[in-house]
């Protein structure tokens, strides 16, 4: 497929060449290695003189197809698939940074990303500073001579704060810093950071890309020269995605556009319902006009996405009773599933942060995050309604 085709078409029609059996859908290539024609071909493959598969840690047709699709959907030159979202985060940092380098990071990032920044990278002398999403003026002052990468998430998890991608893209370019964006919450269907100047986009494929809560996977796409270094690092350190998971992820991308439309439609309806409810203290959703950055969200996102956060009156105790009262919504740690999921970030996904760190990124003690699924919206609201009633 090509750049001239539309998003939906590329998500469906990008396919590795068919085998002589002429299968319509791509088969699963469960093989660790590939047979050489002769000694000369083996030599040329290892010397990178000709394209082709050698060994699945390096490449595999299922991974290639998944990555090619993601490159087209994100508007990226090249990419590699990884075993999880976290291996995408870590590999993109470890491959491009060296001892003495510094990262500038939006304060609200995924819990394990915070652990990598604070507990793992410092072992190799790689430091970071956190910048506040709502204080863009302070970012420039935090840039140091050795700042090599800016890493952000927008919308943030779980506060759903928005960073102006056009502004941050220009800032990174001006200072010649690599801009790395974790786009897992939006997926390329809602937002394409590379079009605003991002150099690298990473994903947890586990979330909306798979979309059915069945797979762990990740992907890194971006500038060719940077991916070349990342590919070298990954080829030898081995965070490769299994062909089976790549097959699932590539298949899942075929329905990404319709799923994101419905996730966003359901989330918007739930947010509007909660906004009117007398037992709700606060509700946040990027496409609600009450969101402090509503106009910015509208500017850079196609739709508001599948995540809604809110605080129930009665604080943390009421929040916990609310979670325990849910009958249909799942109480689990994933997001981006067909099944709606409710989570209490302060005691689960972000429990490793201190209370002060949580407050700084908008994680109030009673905050509840709902990943709005694809069940009928009436049933989702009915369950939330009865849980609000039960927890009074």
Ligand X SMILES: *Cc1c(COP(=O)(O)O)cnc(C)c1O
* Minimum CB–partner distance for residue 276 and ligand X (Å): 29
Q: Minimal CB distance to ligand X: which residue?
A: 85
Q: Is 60 a residue that touches ligand X (CB under 6 A)?
A: no
Segment (H or E) for 311: strand 307-312
Q: Is 116 a residue that touches ligand X (CB under 6 A)?
A: no
CA distance 169 to 178: 9
Which lies closer to ligand X via its Cβ, residue 68 or residue 153? 153
Q: Is 161 a residue that touches ligand X (CB under 6 A)?
A: no
Which lies closer to ligand X via its Cβ, residue 183 or residue 391? 183
* Minimum CB–partner distance for residue 240 and ligand X (Å): 14
Q: Is 182 a residue that touches ligand X (CB under 6 A)?
A: yes
Which lies closer to ligand X via its Cβ, residue 90 or residue 322? 90
Chain positions 191 to 230 lying near ligand X, rule: CB under 6 A, are 204, 206-207, 216, 218
SS (H, E, C) 309-354: EEEECCHHHHHHHHHHHCCCCEECCCCCCCCCEEECHHHCCCCCCC
Which of residues 26, 80, 86, 95 is near ligand X by CB under 6 A? Answer: 86
* Minimum CB–partner distance for residue 185 and ligand X (Å): 6
Cβ 231 vs Cβ 91: under 8 Å = no
Q: Is 351 left (phi over 0), alpha (psi -120 to 50) or beta?
A: alpha
Q: Is 337 a residue that touches ligand X (CB under 6 A)?
A: no
Q: Is 315 left (phi over 0), alpha (psi -120 to 50) or beta?
A: left
Under DSSP, the state recorded for 186 is T
Q: What residues does 247 pair with on adjacent strands?
A: none
Which of residues 116, 184, 230, 377 is near ligand X by CB under 6 A? Answer: 184
Distances (CA, A) of 200 to 69, 71, 188: 16, 11, 13
Q: Is 185 a residue that touches ligand X (CB under 6 A)?
A: yes
**Cβ neighbours of residue 360 closer than 8 Å, sequence gap 6 or more:** 107, 132
Binding residues for ligand X, rule: CB under 6 A, are 84-86, 89, 110, 112, 153, 157, 182, 184-185, 204, 206-207, 216, 218
């Amino acid at each position: 497929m090509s750049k001239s085709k539309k998003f939906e078409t590329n998500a469906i029609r990008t396919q590795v060449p068919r085998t002589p059996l002429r299968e319509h859908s791509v088969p699963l290539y469960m093989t660790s290695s590939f047979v050489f024609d002769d000694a000369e071909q083996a030599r040329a493959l290892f010397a990178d003189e000709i394209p082709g598969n050698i060994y699945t840690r390096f490449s595999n047709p299922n991974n290639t197809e998944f990555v090619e699709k993601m490159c087209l959907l994100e508007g990226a030159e090249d990419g590699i698939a990884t075993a999880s979202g976290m291996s995408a985060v870590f590999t993109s940092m470890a491959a491009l940074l060296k001892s003495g380098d510094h990262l500038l990071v939006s304060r609200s990032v995924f819990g394990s990303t915070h652990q990598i920044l604070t507990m793992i990278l410092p072992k190799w002398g790689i430091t970071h500073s956190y910048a506040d999403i709502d204080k863009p003026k302070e970012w420039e002052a935090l840039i140091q001579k050795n700042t090599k990468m800016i890493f952000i998430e927008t919308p943030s998890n779980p506060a759903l704060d928005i960073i102006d991608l056009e502004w941050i893209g220009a800032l990174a370019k001006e200072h010649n810093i690599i801009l790395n964006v974790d786009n897992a919450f939006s997926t390329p269907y809602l937002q394409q950071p590379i079009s605003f100047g991002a150099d690298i986009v990473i994903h947890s494929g586990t979330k909306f890309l798979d979309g059915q809560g069945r797979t762990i996977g990740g992907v890194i796409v971006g500038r060719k020269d940077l991916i070349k270094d990342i590919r070298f690092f990954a080829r030898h350190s081995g965070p490769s995605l299994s062909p089976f998971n790549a097959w699932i992820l590539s298949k899942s991308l075929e329905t990404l556009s319709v799923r994101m439309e419905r996730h966003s439609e359901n989330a918007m309806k739930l947010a509007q319902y909660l906004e009117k409810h007398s037992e709700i203290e606060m509700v946040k959703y990027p496409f609600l006009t009450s969101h402090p950055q509503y106009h910015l969200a509208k500017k850079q996102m196609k739709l508001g996405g599948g995540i809604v956060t809110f605080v129930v009156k009665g604080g943390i105790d009421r929040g916990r009773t609310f979670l325990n009262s849910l009958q249909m919504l799942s109480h689990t740690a994933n997001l981006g599933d067909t099944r709606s999921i409710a989570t209490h970030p302060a005691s689960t996904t972000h429990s490793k942060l201190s209370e002060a760190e949580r407050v700084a990124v908008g994680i109030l003690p009673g905050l509840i995050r709902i990943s709005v699924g694809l069940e009928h919206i009436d049933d989702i609201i009915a369950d939330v309604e009865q849980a609000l009633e039960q927890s009074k």
